[in-house]
Structure 1
Amino acid sequence: MTTGVLLTPDRCTHHVVDDTVAQARLAREAGVRQVWLGQQLDLDAIALAGIVGALVPELGVGTSVVPINPRHPLVVAAAAQTAQSAARGRFSLGLGLGVAMLEQIAFGVPTDHVGQRLREYLTVLCAIRDMGTVNFQGAYLTAVDPHVMPVALPSAVPYPIYVAAMGPQALRVTGELADGTLPYAGPRTLDEVIVPAITAAAADAGRPTPQVFGLVNVAITDDVDSARAVAAETLAMYDQVPSYQRINSREGVSSVADLALIGSAQDVAKGLARYLDAGATDVVLMPVLKGRDALARVCEVAADLPAPRARVRTSRRAPA
């Protein structure tokens, strides 16, 4: 894999989809080989990834991330296969467990038993992807191939599935069933918790060593104080979420914004190296500042980063 950049569609433009495609082209021209798109209530990340993948040749596209609770896995599988076909095999599906308080307000769906729900969801997705059919009845999900219409798209080659897993249950399930994780966490959390837990789960299941993408907020700027203020404002919501509060405590910071890498290109690259040293197979750069110039500077850093070292499996396990 190669270092990726998260694109944020500009809703103030005349045409949001065209703007996103233009951002993707900017990234590709800068040398970036992979971009990611986040799911929103007003924009569908899988559909947008398919469009970008079809219009920007040689650029990998992925979602970071699509919450599993609001949509049935049969629906997500159909969307992912469509995006994979449109992108000519360059699509990656990133899933997330969602933020419980937001999903309960927006969708009114239950958000308990996340470990078992994730296991059932991935079981359905992997069955469709790997076997072209599904016949599953679980505690929370039912997914059955009716055989009167196909559930697998022949033109869509298998796509990788990643999960934004950070808790012990989610990491165990992800290691057993998925291809890797997209954690929004600091390097200490990667080193002490995420990498050993998901690696051990994959080893126990007889699966390959999983990919670990470290998601990192970055800004390339001389005005560090102003950028830090922007980060504090835009990322404040995460500090209300218990899982991120635990990460803050482990990382020794008071806010998610404190983990943002802000400064010169050299300073940011040095900070990103800590994530790779902690066991990340790659990083996804998430721009703090808006605008094409800010995005271009981030893309230049992403393109200039050396290829990540291959991660070898060890017997190290997360603390119980």
Structure 2
Amino acid sequence: MRLHWVVNLGIALAQANTTNYVDAIVLAAREAAQAGVRSVWFGQRMDYDSAALAAIVGREVPQLQVGTSAIPVVGRHPLLVSAQAQTTQAATHGRYHLGLAVGSSFAAGAFGVPFDRPITRLREFLTALRELLDTGTADFHGELLTATPPMPTALPGAQPRVPVLVAAMGSQSLRVTGELADGTLPYLAGPKTLGEHIVPAITKASSTPPRIVAFVPAVVTADVEAARAEAVRQLSFYDQVPSYTRVIELEGATRAADLAVIGDEETVAAQIRRYFEAGATEVVLTSTDLAGPEDQRRTWKLLGELGSGISTN
């Protein structure tokens, strides 16, 4: 098979076993950029702030787009998230993409707050955030949130307006996301689920074509069996989360690891193509470390080649 197509591709970047996480991430981001990767994304964890990490990486590696995927809205306020996002946007000179998530009882429990009425909270959060980013102020009074800043909130240099994406996959969250955000960040939603459920639902709710940034666990490797076993270990957490088990079942799979794309360059490239054919506007590969550092670099090299339109035989 001969591949020759230019696409929007990125990676979700994480590091392990390091003495300074930020330093290690910057070095890895530089290596990814040298391989031709166009964007790097950071999940929100309990040990670092993803928007701050994106700001540092975007500042240090100016050829990269940077994004967060995804900051839960539970336990946070749109005023604070707006300030974080604008600071990162100014630091990266307009290369930041804010990814949000509804959250879960797990995330809410860490803050000691209830996980109740998540769709209402998402709608109110996005409404207030959009007003803050669009106008530089807000006068929002909802049932769960209030945003009435006593001073302007627009930050010089935070242009263009930060794009807002939501990790939405259910019908209600997709409707809210389509109405109030710029697109969605589905994870573990295979091509069938993407094309038959997610893309139609968000497109119907959107006034403009939405961004569909599909996050896909994938690695280029010759040792498929070992990588699959590692995928089972790394992704087993998602087999217990209802929002993920739903999309896994919709795809006809039984566990998250079944959706990991593992194989040689032709295999991985062909599967990436399926996501674009299903309606993805961008694809971000996660878990590229499943088979070790050498195969991770091999995966990044493939993304660089596909993103540059280089032919791969």
Q: TM-score range by the shorter chain?
A: over 0.9
Structure 2: give runs of 5+ residues left out of the alignment. 1-6
Aligned to 2:100: 95
Aligned to 1:302: 303
How many pairs align? Answer: 300
Post-superposition shift, 1:34?
0.8
**Mapped pair 1:115 → 2:115:** no
Q: TM-score, normalised by structure 1?
A: 0.90
Aligned to 2:64: 59
Post-superposition shift, 1:163?
0.3
Identity rate, percent: 50
Are the aligned partners of 2:288 and 2:296 in contact in 1 as well (CA < 8 Å)?
no
Mapping of residues 24-35 of structure 1, within 5 Å: 24-35=29-40
Post-superposition shift, 1:112?
2.1
Runs of 4+ aligned structure 1 residues displaced above 6 Å come to: none
Aligned to 1:156: 158
Post-superposition shift, 1:122?
0.7
Output the aligned Cα RMSD.
1.5
Output the CA distance in 1 between the equivalents of 2:295 and 2:21: 18
Output the CA distance in 2 between the equivalents of 1:238 and 1:99: 12
Output the CA distance in 2 between the equivalents of 1:9 and 1:83: 21
* Counterparts in 2 of 1:165 and 1:307: CA distance versus 1, 3 Å: farther
Q: Deviations over 1:201-230 (max 9, x none)?
A: 00xxxx210000111000111111110010
Output the CA distance in 1 between the equivalents of 2:271 and 2:33: 23
Output the CA distance in 2 between the equivalents of 1:307 and 1:113: 44
Post-superposition shift, 1:306?
5.2
Q: Report the secondary structure of 1:305's partner residue.
A: helix
**Mapped pair 1:7 → 2:10:** no
Q: Deviations over 1:154-177 (max 9, x none)?
A: 211111110000011110011011
Aligned to 1:312: none
Aligned to 1:177: 180
Mapping of residues 134-149 of structure 1, within 5 Å: 134-147=138-151
Post-superposition shift, 1:299?
1.2
Structure 1: give runs of 5+ residues left out of the alignment. 309-320
Q: Which has the higher contact order (CA 8 A, sep 6+)?
A: 2
Are the aligned partners of 1:2 and 1:307 in contact in 2 as well (CA < 8 Å)?
no
Aligned to 1:311: none
From 123, 133, 140, the counterpart of 2:137: 133
Q: Report the secondary structure of 2:66's partner residue.
A: strand
Post-superposition shift, 1:114?
1.6
One-letter code aligned to 2:226 = S
